[in-house]
Amino acid sequence: MNNKDNQPDSASELRRRAEKKIKQETGALPDDFTTLSREEIGELIHELEVHKIELEMHNDELCAAQEELELSRKRYLDLYNLVPVGYCVVNEKGFIQDVNLTAVTLLGSIRSDLINRPISEFILREDYLRYHHHWKIVFETGEPQTIELQMLRNDKSLFWTRLDFMIAKNAGQSPFCQVTLTDISEPKRLEHALKERIKKLNFLFRFSDLLEKPDISLNEVLKTTVLMIPQAWQFPGITEACIELEGQIFQTKGFRKTQWLQTSDIVIKGKKAGQMTVCYTESRPTFNGSPFSMEESYLLNVMAERLGHIIERVRLAEAVKDSEIFLRTAINSITIPFAVINATDYTVELANDAYGGEKVTGLKCYAVSHQRSTPCTGDDYPCPMQEIKRTGKPFFGEQLHYDDQGNPSSIEIFTFPVLDTNGQIVQMIKTHIDITTRKRIELKLEQKAAELEDMNAALKVLLKRRELDKEEIGQNIFANYQILLTPIIQNLKNTLTQENQKELIKILELRLKNILSPFSKKLSDKLINLTPTEIHVAHLIKLGKSNKEISQILNCSFHTVSRHRDNIRAKTNLKNKKINLRSFLLSLE
C-alpha cells in the first residue's frame, strides 16, 4: 500500500539494495576515491547517473502500479459492497465475521451490529432445521450447498432468500464459510401469489361445484363452506372461520375471535343478514406486513357477496319448489284430467294424475288422447289448439277419445290459451270430462221419455174416457133424481098437511141435494132448475148434436126440442142474448 509514513525506511532499504547490487556488478568500491583516475571517476559517475535514472523510472512504474492497485482495490471494494447479492464471511461456529453493504441492507441493520452475531438469528424458526442440516453438510464434506428459506430482518419483517454456502481456507487459519444471500422475495412472492391464486381458484371452483349441487340445502352449503375456508388461506393450520346468518352460527371447531381477523358482511336484498369472519389463532408475519393478503381480503368479500346472492337464489328456489309442490298437489287434487300443452309442438308439459301424470309428460297430446301419430286434422271434430290459435279465445266442445285398446269415450273438453308477454299463445290449458256414462244415460232417458210419452198419451185417453164415464154416470144419477125422486117429493109436499111432515120432506130434499151435489158441481146453479128432459137435451147440445138429431134420440118432434132449447136459455138467463148455448154449457164444465 502507498503509506507516506513508511517512505524513509523504504528509501534506505532501496539505497542499501542498490549499493549491494553495485558491489556485485562493479566490484568493491575503493575506500579512497583519490586513487581513482579521472576516467574511472567519470565512468563511476556515469554509472551512478544511469542507475539513478533507472531507479527513477522504476519508481515511476511502481507509483503507477501502486495507483492502479489502489484503483483496483477500490473497484473491488465497490464491487464487494455494491454487488446485488449479500455476502457474509461466517466462521465455523456460525458467527458473522464480515459482511457487505447488500447483506447489511437485506438484514436491516448496520455493519457493526452484525459482526460476531450468529447468522442463525435471522433464520425463520420453521426453517432453522433445514438451514442447520445444510450448514452441517458444508463443513463435513466441503461441498457447496444451496438452500431457499425465509429470513427475518432486524425489524422482524420477513423475506425470502437463497443461501449459497462455500468453504474457504487460509494457510494456518481455521476454515470459514462464504455465505451468499440472494434476495428472491419477488420471485417467491410471485410464486407464492401464483400458488395462492391457484389455491383460491381451486377453492372457488369447489365452492361453485358445491353451490351447483342439486337439491342441496342452505344449511349444508354454509356448513361445508365454513370448513373449506381455512384451506384457501395462506396459513391453513392457524386459520379459523365462522359464518353468522340470521341468528344461525356455522364455525370451525377451534374458532375464536383474535386480534388477527377480517370480516365481510353478507347482504341479502340490500340488507345485512349476517357476517363472515376469518381469523388467525396466532401472529404470523407476511410479505406486506399485514395479517392477511389483499387477495384474501378480496376473496372473503367475493365469497360474502356470492353467498348473499346464493342465499337469495336458494331461498327463491326453495320458494319455487314449495310453489311447485303446492301447484302439483293442487293440480293432483283436481279429480278431472288437467294438462298444459305446448302450443308449438303439442307436447304435454304438465299433467295431473287424472290425466296420466309423469307417464304422459313429454308425449304429444294427440298421441295421448287419440292414439294418433300426427296432429288432428279437424275432419271428425275441431282441434282445440287450432281453434284457440285461430280465435285467440277459449274453446269448448265434445270429442271422441280412444284408449290403448281403441275403445272410444265421449269427452267434453275445456281449453284456455296461455299468452307470453308479447301476447303470443305459447301454451294451452286443457281439462276434460268423460261424459260417456252421461251420454248413455241421456240416450236411455230419451228412450224412456218416448215410452212415457206414449204411455202418457194412452193415459190421457183413458182419463178422458174415465171423465166422460164419470160425467155420464153423474148425469144419469142426477137425471134419475130429477125424473124419479123429484115428482114424488113434490107430490108429498102437496099431499102432506102436517107441518112436521112437511119439515121432514124439506130435510129429505135438502139431504138429497147435498148427496147429489158432487155430480152437479160442474153444472151451474142455474141448471139445477132444469127438468130431467131439459138436462138430457142440454147434455146432447154439449155433445154437439143438432135439433134434428136430438129429436131422433128422444123420439119427439123437432118443435118439442126447440121448445126445450128456449126453456133452457130462459132458465140460464141467456134469452135475448147473443151467446151460443153449446159454448155456454161447455164453459160450465
Question: Domain boundaries in the chain?
Answer: 4-79, 83-183, 190-317, 336-434, 463-587
CA distance 110 to 103: 10
User: 10 falls in which pLDDT band (50, 70, 90)?
Assistant: low
User: What is the reported pLDDT for 334?
Assistant: 81
More confident residue, 29 or 366: 366
Q: Give the residue-averaged pLDDT of 183-191.
A: 81
Q: How many CB atoms lie under 10 A from the CB of residue 101?
A: 16
What's the confidence (pLDDT) of residue 528? 60
User: What CATH fold (topology level) applies to the domain 336-434?
Assistant: Beta-Lactamase (3.30.450)
Q: List CB contacts of 485: < 8 A, sequence separation 6 or more.
A: 512
Is the per-residue pLDDT at 175 higher than 50? yes
pLDDT per residue over 138-155, tens digit each?
888 888 999 998 888 888
Asked whether residue 419 carries a pLDDT value surpassing 70, the answer given is: yes
Give, in words, the CATH class of 190-317: alpha beta
Residue-level pLDDT at 524: 46
Distance between CA atoms of residues 293 and 278, nearest Å: 12
Task: Determine the Cα–Cα distance for residues 223 and 229; give it in Å rounded to an integer.
Answer: 11
Would you say residue 168 has pLDDT above 60?
A: yes
pLDDT of residue 25: 58
pLDDT of 87 over the 80 cut: yes
State the cell numbers at 393: 279465445
Which among 533, 529, 538, 537 has a CA at the least distance from the CA of 587? 538
- The mean of the pLDDT values for the chain is 80
Q: Which three cell numbers stand for residue 432?
A: 276434460
Strand, helix or coil at 60? helix
Q: Is 306 helix (H, G, I), strand (E, B) or coil?
A: helix
Q: Higher model confidence: residue 342 or residue 482?
A: 342
CA distance 367 to 381: 16
Per-residue confidence (pLDDT) for residue 22, from 0 to 100: 62
| Mean pLDDT computed over 307-322 | 81
Length of the chain: 589
| pLDDT value for 378 | 66
User: Residue 189 pLDDT more than 60?
Assistant: yes
423 in the Ramachandran plot: left (φ > 0), alpha (ψ -120 to 50) or beta? left
Mean pLDDT on 552-567: 85
Average pLDDT over every residue of 394-399:
84
> Which are the contacts of 269, defined by CB distance < 8 A and separation ≥ 6?
312
Task: Indicate if the pLDDT at residue 215 is higher than 50.
Answer: yes
Average pLDDT over residues 94-99: 87
Q: Is the pLDDT of residue 283 over 50?
A: yes
Is the confidence at residue 372, as pLDDT, over 70?
A: yes
- CB-CB neighbours of 380 under 10 Å: 10
- Residue 87 near residue 107, CB atoms below 8 Å: no
Of the segments 73-77, 234-238, 273-277, 519-523, which one has the largest average pLDDT value? Answer: 273-277
- DSSP run (H or E) holding 227: helix 218-232
**Residue 489, helix vs strand vs coil:** helix
- How many angstroms separate the CA atoms of 374 and 381, rounded? 15
pLDDT at residue 240, rounded to an integer: 92
Residue predicted with more confidence, 283 or 179:
179
Beta bridge partners of 264: 276
Q: What is the DSSP string of 472-485?
A: HHHHHHHHHIIIII
Note the pLDDT of residue 5: 47
Task: Decide if pLDDT at 7 tops 80.
Answer: no
| Cell numbers for 501 | 111432515
Annotate 440-456 with b (16+ C-beta within 10 A) or e (fewer): eeeeeeeeeeeeeeeee
Chain centroid to CA 567 = 105
Q: What percent of the chain has pLDDT over 90?
A: 4
pLDDT of residue 1: 41
Cell of 507: 130435510
Strand, helix or coil for residue 79 = helix
Q: What is the pLDDT confidence band of residue 46, given thresholds at 50, 70 and 90?
A: confident
**Of the candidates 514, 553, 532, 531, the residue with the CA atom closest to the CA atom of residue 476:** 532
Contacts of 368 (CB under 8 A, 6+ apart): 348, 355, 356, 360
Sign of CA dihedral 18, 20, 25, 30: positive
Residue 74: pLDDT band with limits 50, 70, 90: low
Do 83-183 and 190-317 come out as alike in CATH topology?
yes
Lowest mean pLDDT among 53-57, 165-169, 236-240, 361-365: 53-57
The set of cell numbers assigned to 392 is 285467440
Does 392 score more than 70 pLDDT? yes
Cell of 79: 464491487
* Secondary structure of residue 434 in the 3-state scheme: strand
CA distance 282 to 291: 10
Written as nine digits, the cell of 582 is 153449446
Q: How far apart are CA 243 and CA 129, in angstroms?
A: 38
Using DSSP's 3-state secondary structure scheme, residue 200 falls into helix
Query: Of 471, 495, 500, 568, which is closest to residue 529 (Cα–Cα)?
Result: 568
Q: Which residue(s) pair with 276 in the sheet? A: 243, 264
In this predicted structure, what is the pLDDT of residue 80? Answer: 62
Question: Above pLDDT 70, what percent of the chain?
Answer: 85
- Average pLDDT (198-214) is 75
In terms of CATH, what superfamily is 83-183?
PAS domain (3.30.450.20)
pLDDT of residue 277: 92
Which residues make Cβ contacts (< 8 Å) with residue 585, sequence separation at least 6? 538, 541, 542
3-state secondary structure of 98: strand
